[in-house]
Every structure is written in structure tokens, then in C-alpha cells.
Amino acid sequence: MIAFRKRGYFGTDEKLEFTSVGEEREDVKNTIALLEAAYYGTTPQKKIEAQIIRKTLRQNLSNFKEYVREYQETEDKEEKEDIGYLLKKELRDSAAFAAFKRWLIWDNEMFSEIEQFISEN
């Protein structure tokens, strides 16, 4: 498994740090190297592409945090159930940036009730 932490915030230098969780394996090291290359770019073209990825990631996480906020604030049982289904969809393995969303949930106590939507697979 790979964890990430974001250093810095909007308006300052942002940097994602990718680290191995658990056993240090060669495939995990290779995946971390690939993530770093994809996220930060190694050539001028790749740096432009990485900038697009970062922008897409920020937008995607912003939307996700809005869904979480709506889930936490709604008092309507049916609406909460609908948003819960959406959160489950956003946290499944096939969802875009699912790992980032999971770590956002795991790293924030105020989101602990959302952990129920993270599948075991």
C-alpha cells in the first residue's frame, strides 16, 4: 500500500510525498517512482501534463469534500442515504483519485463517519 501526504497549501509550494506503508517491496518502489514522475513531470511536456493532473486532482478533491460536507450537514434521511451511495462510489477502487480521497478521510477525525463507505477490497 502507498500513502501520500500533501505538504503546503494553495498559494504556497505544494508537494505530495508518496511513501510505502508496510513491507518495502520492489513493485511499491516502482509505483512510487511512477507517481512522482507522473505528478511532477520529468520533461517540459511531462511538466505541463503534470500541471493538468494536479489541477484535475484539486478539482476532484474539492468536489469530494463538498459531498462529504453535504453528507455531514443534511438531516434528511433519504438525502443522506443518496449522498452515502455517492461517497461509496467515489471511494471504490475504480474511482478517480480514490487513494487520495481515502487518505483524506483517514487523516481527518472529523471525517471518521465517512470511513464506513471505504470498501474492504
Residue of 116 and 14 predicted with greater confidence = 116
Distance CA 79, CA 120 (A): 24
Cα–Cα distances (Å) from 92 to 3, 18, 87, in that order, read 16, 20, 9
- Enter the DSSP assignment of 3: E
pTM of the model: 0.70
CB 83 within 8 A of CB 67: yes
Which position has the grid cell 505530495? 16
Flag whether pLDDT at 92 surpasses 70. yes
Average pLDDT value for the chain: 86
Residue 121, pLDDT > 70, answer no
Half-sphere exposure of 94 (CA within 13 A, CB side): 1
- Local confidence band at 10 (pLDDT 50, 70, 90 cut-offs): low
Residue 69 has pLDDT above 60, yes or no: yes
Least-confidence region, from 11-15, 48-52, 95-99, 109-113: 11-15
What are the residue boundaries of the structural domains of the chain, listed by start? 1-40, 58-121
Residue indicated by cell numbers 477502487: 93
On the question of pLDDT at 9 being above 80, the answer is no
Say if CB 86 and CB 67 are below 8 A apart. yes
Query: Tens digit of pLDDT for each residue in 34-66?
Result: 888 877 877 888 888 888 888 898 899 999 999
